[in-house]
Copies of this chain bind each other. A is one copy, B any other.
Amino acid sequence: MPKILIVDDDPDIVELLEYNLQKEGFELASANDGLKALEIAVTFNPDLVLLDVMMPKLDGIETASRLRKIPEFKNTYILFLTARSEEYSEVAAFEVGADDYIVKPIKPRALISRIKALLRRDMQNATPDNEDKLVAGGLVINRKNHSVLLNGASLTFPKKEFELLFFLVQNPDKVFSRDEILHKIWGADVYVVERTVDVHIRKLREKIGDSYIKTLKGIGYLFSLD
């Protein structure tokens, strides 16, 4: 079950949310300010963070911004809660990578359905056997222990290379532009030159051979077994 971190300085709201989300079977943790939220996040490792915008110590925007800077939370969903009057913060929210934005007063049923909508993609991708293991041709990629077997021989990959390989293998026969790849692997707020992808592709090919990853000139790269 997905893990949700609730962050709000109003205990009533925290309770309201906990009550409703617990009913749905989510795993929960909560914090009442931004600083505590960051602390808890690193150990709790939530899939989604419900973040109040107005909070003491560290407001929601700043909390989200810091979270996003930690690689582990690059793909964590962030969902802001805000009072109707605080509209101005909407832009700032999406700027720091918000995935959704919910205006108080909170309607529990609406909230739950939006949370589920966000998590749905993951739920689907997280099918049991698909868990963390990909097999394609002579390649066996295991996300859990970060291992790759090529025709039985074990290879090791640095993080970026591994993620790139995993991403490509996960979407076989689909082309991705360098820009798309950067967004997916590096994140929306990382500014690196597109050619960086080339170099990583080269390193992958060096290790797994040239046959798996193909180049479509003017388009991008793709993983394929043909």
Which residue numbers of A lie inside 8 Å of B, CB to CB?
88, 91, 94-95, 98-101, 107, 109-110, 113, 116-117, 144-147, 154, 156, 158-159, 173-175, 179, 188-189, 191-193, 216-219, 222, 226
Contact = CB atoms under 8 A, between A and B. Distances in A.
B191 A110 contact: yes
Nearest to A109: B191
Given A91-B94, A147-B173, 18 more contacts: A91-B98, A91-B100, A91-B101, A107-B191, A109-B192, A110-B191, A113-B188, A113-B189, A116-B179, A117-B188, A145-B173, A145-B222, A146-B175, A146-B219, A158-B217, A158-B218, A159-B217, A159-B218
A113 B97 CA distance: 13
Number of copies: 2
Contacts of A158: 217-218
A99 B95 CA distance: 10
A223 B109 CA distance: 28
A209 B158 CA distance: 23
A222 B145 CA distance: 8
Nearest to A87: B94
A174 B159 contact: no
Contacts of A222: 145
Contacts of A113: 188-189, 191
Contact of A94 (B88, B156, B218, B219): B88
A191 to B, nearest CB: 4
A187 to B, nearest CB: 10
Nearest to A88: B94
Contacts of A110: 191
Nearest to A188: B117
B156 A216 contact: yes
3 A-B pairs with the lowest CB-CB distances in the bound complex, closest first: A159-B218, A109-B191, A146-B175
12 contacts: A88-B91, A88-B94, A91-B99, A91-B101, A107-B191, A117-B188, A145-B175, A146-B219, A158-B217, A159-B217, A159-B218, A159-B219
